[in-house]
Amino acid sequence: MAKKSRDNAKAAKKAKAVKPLKKKIKKLEKALAESQARTAAPRVSPLAPTRFPDLPEIAGVAFAATAAGVRYKGRTDVMLARLAPGTHIAGAFTRSSTRAAPVLDCETKIGRKTGPEEGAAILVNSGNANAFTGKAGQEAVEAIASSVARAVGVPQARVFTSSTGVIGEPLPHARVTAVMDDLTAQLSPTGMEDAARAIMTTDTFPKGAMAEIEIGGHPVRIAGIAKGSGMVAPDMATMLVYIFTDAKVAQPLLQKLLSELIDETFNCITVDGDTSTSDTLLLAATGQSPAPEIRTRRAKTTQVFADALRGVMLDLAHQVVKDGEGATKFVEVGVTGAETVEDARKVAMAIANSPLVKTAIAGEDPNWGRIVMAVGKSGARADRDRLAIRFGDTVVAENGWVSPGYDEATVAAYMTRPELMIGVDLGLGDAAAKAWTCDLTHRYIDINADYRS
């Protein structure tokens, strides 16, 4: 009995200990959740659009996507676009001096004279970038291109391929050519969203954009897809963009428009300032709209078409930034008052690329001192005492010093928004430029440091 009583007393004492233990567990769980949240992986970027847009069918283009098992399991990883005879194709590519085999191949094919009966095709695989793969890289490109050419009935010189994914590993091209019949059997004008999904690597959402205009009383449609700077170690960010239109435009003019517009769109975005070996943009015009041909750069109709194309390119470019690794903020940097457009772009990109600016934005800190620093290092002409800096509509610094009416609380509240505007006026001239970037967060380090646990 005495023992039982002692046991009871012990048990009662232990029982008393339960409550504080449970309290401690709750506290620890909360602390752990908070600590983990700082580096947690969101399934989809918080900046993603609510849904994939309804892309119009583009006369003369059919799409197919399938799972070839290049690297990923249980998802599509190859897309095919078949382009009707008469389609003109323009392209823009990475400026890297270590360009991947498919990029080098595309470059030789762009702008080549084509017969009116020649169709074309674009084939893209994800999972393997076919980059830094020596001679085997070019052989893989040729194996795939010749397989597509046979299956779709177009000359091999009219087959454009891209690859994105792991680098330095030989592309298992037989897996791609093995699904060629499956792909051609599926070809459909409505398959564009599936194509957008098949080219994703670690993108957290598929990217699409469209525009519809009227030329000579007839509708002209533009629709495009992109993949962004998702990355799977040991990969690197690659941006792939495919835009389709039923407009009738000769190749040289199409190329001229693309080259012009890329400087205001894809060349003005940055996630981390690094450049892929595989960046590719292809623009295909089928000419199947009944609208009249777009003939000269200066015609009014050309401007209407260029504006619509710019809108689609900008929309896709912004989506790439919004899916930047670890991005929680989308930032537009607007520079005005520069002596030249080149200077304005230099300043905008120096701010957009600065790790110090990007981490300040992650911390929701209106750190205008770092903007001053980035302007200073840009290499553009700038005068400290003429500089004005805005966050949103609030002027924070001007005439070489903090703005007299500057209220930090207002700007701190503004900085909590997911989409931000930083304005810089250099006070020297009339030239302006914009750049778009995202913040630099713990998640970027997580994704790219590839913690080996």
Q: Is 113 annotated as a binding residue?
A: no
CA-nearest of 150, 89, 88 to 116 is 88
Q: Is 453 annotated as a binding residue?
A: yes
The bridge status of strand 330-338 relative to strand 269-270 is unpaired
Q: Is 130 helix (H, G, I), strand (E, B) or coil?
A: coil
Provide the token pair at 242: 């495919």
Least Å distance, CB 316 to a copy of itself, is: 22
Cα pseudo-dihedral 409, 411, 412, 418, rounded to 10? 150
Q: Is 329 annotated as a binding residue?
A: no
Q: Is 416 annotated as a binding residue?
A: no
Cβ nearer to a copy of itself, comparing 170 with 219: 170
Of 161, 164, 238, 286, the active-site residue reads 238
Least Å distance, CB 39 to a copy of itself, is: 7
CA-nearest of 139, 322, 138 to 230 is 322
Q: Is 201 annotated as a binding residue?
A: yes
**Is 275 one of the annotated active-site residues of the chain?**
no
Contact indicator for 282, 90 with CB cutoff of 8 Å: yes
Least Å distance, CB 97 to a copy of itself, is: 4
Least Å distance, CB 131 to a copy of itself, is: 7
CA-nearest of 352, 336, 342, 344 to 269 is 352
Residue 323 CA to residue 330 CA, distance in Å, equals 9
Cβ nearer to a copy of itself, comparing 212 with 408: 408
Q: Is 9 helix (H, G, I), strand (E, B) or coil?
A: helix
Cβ nearer to a copy of itself, comparing 33 with 44: 33
Cβ nearer to a copy of itself, comparing 89 with 360: 360
Cβ nearer to a copy of itself, comparing 50 with 451: 451
Q: What is the length of the chain?
A: 453
Q: Is 403 annotated as a binding residue?
A: no
Least Å distance, CB 12 to a copy of itself, is: 4
Half-sphere exposure of 91 (CA within 13 A, CB side): 26
Phi first, then psi: what are they for 433, rounded to 5°?
-160, 160
Catalytic residues: 238
Q: Binding site residues for substrate, as ranges? A: 201, 227, 238, 325, 448, 453
